[in-house]
Amino acid sequence: WVDEILVIDGGSKDKTVSISKKYGARVVDYREGKDFSDRRNKGMREAKGDWILYLDTDERVTPSLRDEILEVIKIHEFEAFAIPRRNFVLGSELKHGGMWPDYQKRLFRRDKLRGWKGELHEEPQFEGRLGHFKNSMIHLKHDKISEMVEKTNLWSNIEAKLMHDAGHPKMNIPRFGSAIFREFWLRMIKQGAFLDGAVGIIYGLYQVYSKFVSYAKLWEMQMK
């Protein structure tokens, strides 16, 4: 249903390239990509179609979303679209704790997309109006707790460096306590992560843990 499948490969060591080519994708080797925004910008430069749909490797387009995409691009009412995302963690769908509707800006008219910015939480820069889809995509977020911890160790390095480079105030006990309490209150109480049962509680506390690790690494940088 698409005119082109484009895969930006950052040096994968699994079967990503062979599987992608099997399904007719054009694979672009881009190991020099420095961050998520850089890779998305490479995809923007390589794409040939009038519209660009961005997907990560752990995301899936549902048949209903596919049909809606094919309809809305005929109308030309909007230049960009945000897609709601259903998040699955440890095999369960999470609907609380900030996990729904989790809109992601992913579909753009190529001539209106100006690029992506942000080393960790990349954001698209585009001209025109933003529409919102009714149908959602699937996000197979985490399968294992060990995988979650690995990603936190990687992402927290980037997040801590960004805060450090931005001149974040020196971390101390009150700031640690405030940051952790705010994250716990937001995820577990205000957004109701506990309503998703055991997995919701585990993931809500994991978000608190991730926030702590980022600030602890910031503290470590400030002490040097």
| CATH at 46 | 3.90.550.10
Q: For position 33, what pLDDT does the model report?
A: 85
Which among 141, 163, 182 is the end of a domain? 141
Q: For position 209, what pLDDT does the model report?
A: 98
| CB neighbourhood size of 52 (10 A) | 21
Q: For position 103, what pLDDT does the model report?
A: 99
Contact 64, 116 (CB under 8 A): no
Contact 115, 215 (CB under 8 A): no
Strand partners, 107: 53, 81
Domain count, the chain: 2
Q: Are residues 66 and 157 in the same domain?
A: no
Q: Which residues of the chain have pLDDT under 50?
A: none
Q: CA 95, 98, 101 angle in degrees (round to 5)?
A: 60
Per the structure block, which two tokens stand in for 61? 């387009």
Q: Are residues 29 and 125 in the same domain?
A: yes
Residues with Cβ < 8 Å from 22, sequence gap 6 or more?
none
Residue 1, domain member (yes or no) = no
Average pLDDT, the chain: 97
Which residue range(s) make up the domain with 207?
A: 144-223
